[in-house]
Structure 1
């Protein structure tokens, strides 16, 4: 599978100017198509991104509500397939690829269609954001793989901040699972792709720059983790357990739900705890929602393959 068309897929949520700036920084191959999904925020934002899309030549998909990241990317991929794209490069709205990164990632998945490939993802100051990542299947902890050291039982995953996948592999996996809405959908996709025979790897010669959290705040507050971040990271850890783990591991993850939620809260620092409505409350709600999802899956008799 060589010589196919490339599509760059972006999901925006009130971030039209950010998307425009990062796509301007990203070099596109000849004949590439850019598909932007505008998850609805306001009529003014819809008009703004529509004007930018017309000027830049993007294909714009305009759902009438906020689909979330995963379902938004699924809508973008559907439009890309209609445009005869064979390689999809998924890019966060607050990220851009350096130099010829899009072309290299696209060529790689066209040459290796049974693969998921990500670049090295760095922060604007050069610090590491994501590369080869792993999930501890015994506890639900996630971390970067360093010097080949791995958990005893783990799953490799690649960050959805920037990820390349061939159209056949996307169709084989079914894309992202809408149940996640935000966060953990990249872990879920990585695990399902690996089960479908995909090889997961990072091309360290390609770099994406990701301003982590750049899309989280729309109210002028200082940078930090949002209530949405806490709710869905806490919740979706348990959604993943319900979908992928046997009963013994599900029980272990459920018993760790509260300390796991605390660990997630600490990613934003202790100062944020001064605002419990934006931190502790969504983490508690996320724990309750995730445990409810887990119980419902058990009643339905759902267990990991």
Structure 2
């Protein structure tokens, strides 16, 4: 019986899936890992590629979203540990899964994530839960100046501590691991989050129950980043902003809930600006 069930959710991921699978099979615990590929109605040859890799994928006839598909796949396994890996990510060290599992020996750790390398540089995983003011500053200034103070505060400083495990607010669902009993107790990802922030919300709920979220020191992945969303940019923007509204409603209490209509209107306006920019760029590129 495997000790780690690792789920890879695919959507038009034929080109990158082999690298992700190979990185799992190169792990020192490879003989204890069961890989489950679940596909959200790809239109390329992802299913064929998975079968060529010796994996019979779960083929959803429609795209049910990230959270629902991951929950669906995890439910088919029985290993004591559950891990998630994006198809556009590759485990960067043969002891990555082993290090993550070791971190979970501490019963107070609810979930462990990995360091991330994108385009050859550290990418900010292990972010802070966005306060109302930080989220607003990041949302506004991020349109004008990516390196602004609000964005830096939201990203945190986890990338500066690359040698040891570090307690953080939340980690990306690009690559994370939990003990199965706790995953099942939490109900997995909240399926209201079709895509984006389901990982943040899970870490938030774990925090409310007294568990810590940890960014692993030894474990890291190479993440090619946003491969499926690039082909559906407008839809991805819509789901990102929709998830932000849900997260705000889920996590704000007291007088801050009064700001929900204003936050929703602001995010709708921001979405409109980004869609307009994206449309203009697409038109320009075709000219």
Interval containing the TM-score (normalised by the shorter chain): 0.7 to 0.9
Q: Residue 188 of structure 2 contacts residue 202 of structure 2 at CA under 8 Å; is this kept in 1?
A: yes
Q: Residue 234 of structure 2 contacts residue 275 of structure 2 at CA under 8 Å; is this kept in 1?
A: no
The 1-side partners of 2:264 and 2:241 are apart by: 8
How many pairs are equivalent? 254
- Per the TM alignment, residue 262 of structure 1 is displaced from its structure 2 partner at its CA by 5.9
The answer for the alignment partner of 1:33 in structure 2 is 34
Query: Which residue of 81, 87, 90 maps to 1:93?
Result: 87
Q: How big is each residue's C-alpha offset from its partner over 1:110-166, in whole Å with a ceiling of 9 and x where there is no partner?
A: 554742111112213223231x2112333471712238xxxxxxx922111111111
The answer for the alignment partner of 1:17 in structure 2 is 15
Residues 158, 265 of structure 1: CA spacing in aligned structure 2 closer, same or farther, 3 A cutoff? Answer: farther
- Per the TM alignment, residue 75 of structure 1 is displaced from its structure 2 partner at its CA by 1.1
The 2-side partners of 1:182 and 1:79 are apart by: 21
- Per the TM alignment, residue 171 of structure 1 is displaced from its structure 2 partner at its CA by 0.8
Q: Residue 34 of structure 1 contacts residue 59 of structure 1 at CA under 8 Å; is this kept in 2?
A: no
Q: How big is each residue's C-alpha offset from its partner over 1:256-283, in whole Å with a ceiling of 9 and x where there is no partner?
A: 34444566788x7995361599xxxxxx
How high is the TM-score relative to the length of structure 2? 0.77
- Per the TM alignment, residue 180 of structure 1 is displaced from its structure 2 partner at its CA by 0.9
The answer for the alignment partner of 2:3 in structure 1 is 5
Q: How big is each residue's C-alpha offset from its partner over 1:190-221, in whole Å with a ceiling of 9 and x where there is no partner?
A: 111222332111112211111121222348xx
Higher RCO by CA contacts (8 Å cutoff, separation 6 or greater): 2
Q: Residue 86 of structure 2 contacts residue 175 of structure 2 at CA under 8 Å; is this kept in 1?
A: yes
SS at match of 2:205: helix
- Per the TM alignment, residue 86 of structure 1 is displaced from its structure 2 partner at its CA by 1.1
- Please list every run of 5 or more consecutive structure 2 residues that lacks an aligned counterpart in the other structure: 139-153, 159-167
The 1-side partners of 2:91 and 2:219 are apart by: 8
The 1-side partners of 2:133 and 2:181 are apart by: 33
The 2-side partners of 1:210 and 1:57 are apart by: 23
Residues 13, 265 of structure 1: CA spacing in aligned structure 2 closer, same or farther, 3 A cutoff? Answer: same
The answer for the alignment partner of 2:130 in structure 1 is 136
Q: Does 1:105 align with 2:100?
A: yes
The 1-side partners of 2:128 and 2:81 are apart by: 25
Query: Which residue of 57, 62, 74 maps to 1:60?
Result: 57
The 2-side partners of 1:262 and 1:113 are apart by: 40
The answer for the alignment partner of 1:196 in structure 2 is 209
SS at match of 2:38: strand
Q: CA RMSD in A?
A: 3.0
Q: Residue 173 of structure 1 contacts residue 196 of structure 1 at CA under 8 Å; is this kept in 2?
A: no
User: Which 4+ stretches in 1 moved above 4 angstroms?
Assistant: 258-266, 268-271
Residues 265, 168 of structure 1: CA spacing in aligned structure 2 closer, same or farther, 3 A cutoff? Answer: farther
The answer for the alignment partner of 1:274 in structure 2 is 280
Counterparts of residues 1-305 of structure 1 (less than 5 Å): 5-26=3-24, 27-28=26-27, 29=29, 30-42=31-43, 45=44, 48-81=45-78, 85-99=79-93, 100-110=95-105, 112=107, 114-130=109-125, 132-139=126-133, 141=135, 143-146=154-157, 156-218=169-231, 226-246=233-253, 248-260=255-267, 272=278, 274=280
